[in-house]
Amino acid sequence: MNPAWLTRARKRAGGAAVDGFFRGLANLGRLHPLAKPERHGVEVLRELPYQSGGLAEHRLDVYRPLPGRGPTPGKRPAMLYIHGGGFRILSKETHWVMGLGFARRGFVVFNVNYRLAPHHPFPAALHDVAAALQWLELHAAEYGADLEQLVIAGESAGANLATSLTLSTCFARSEPYAQAAFAVGRVPKAVLPMCGVLQVTDPERFRRRRPDRIGNFLQDRLSEVSVGYLGRDRLQPHPDWHLADPLLVLEGDEQPARPLPPFFAGVGTADVLLDDTRRLHAALTRRQVHSEVRYYPKQVHAFHAMAFLAEARTAWVHQIDFLERVLQRPLPPV
């Protein structure tokens, strides 16, 4: 048995390695000539506050096509993009490729920061993305965005937040942030929760199912997400944690006050979170909600952010095809 100090050191080292890997990959990608927004007919408006108080966590960047790009004139479909990072790391800056990728396909993308755990545990992030949705309702048109064609998207922890925010627009719930989102009165036209961690309260579920595949490194990462987001008392269930587990809400019997929108979810078959996407699709299908899911053979977590991969480009094609059908409008080609 490892001493407690050695376990803690292993967890800290693993977390730092993951953070450094994704930040390094994002920064390296920025050096490529094709990372320049102007090469794709896209402009970026940075550091717009969506809440007062001056916190960097309460700012967003707008990625939007320059006038004349794409087959359709007038306002563009809007996207609220919520970055991943286990609720603890990364930012809109590390997720520039998502803003650029969807903007070059015709969206006005609002790429949002939010407060991070463990300094700001649940439900701070949900408070923030609900506030961002309220800000969009007031200001999106100023940036040429059509909220009648709003998409909420995110990956990993961002997929969790995108799903919970969407549930908040559909279910009449008691949580203040959910009430704020519901009061906006707008349900997104589509939701894209890619490779989502959709149940935070039980990180051990993956090891119970596949103990041969979940080693200490992966279990450490799953556990630090749960502990960071919910606090060290996470083993004591709390009634206010429901929207930390949007998957359980969908698997339950509570009925929405407004119809749920169509969902598209994609995940690699080598992703430890694969089962959450499978369960999401099953829960939505049981509720007779339009749900499309794609499984990408041998791909790891968040592979679609690595645009140099052939399977990543395929995943982007699938997302855009889904959005064209749901929004009923052509989008510039991938």
Q: What is the pLDDT of residue 11?
A: 52
CA distance 234 to 331: 43
Q: What is the pLDDT of residue 31?
A: 62
Q: What is the pLDDT of residue 10?
A: 44
Residues of the chain below pLDDT 50: 6-7, 9-10, 71
- Burial level of 152, CB count in 10 A (0-12/13-18/19+)? buried
Taken in order of first residue, the domains within the chain and their CATH numbers are 10-327 (3.40.50.1820)
pTM of the full predicted structure? 0.92
Per-residue DSSP letter, 329: S
Q: What is the pLDDT of residue 214?
A: 80
Q: What is the pLDDT of residue 240?
A: 81
Residues in the chain: 334
State which H helix or E strand residue 13 sits in: helix 4-30
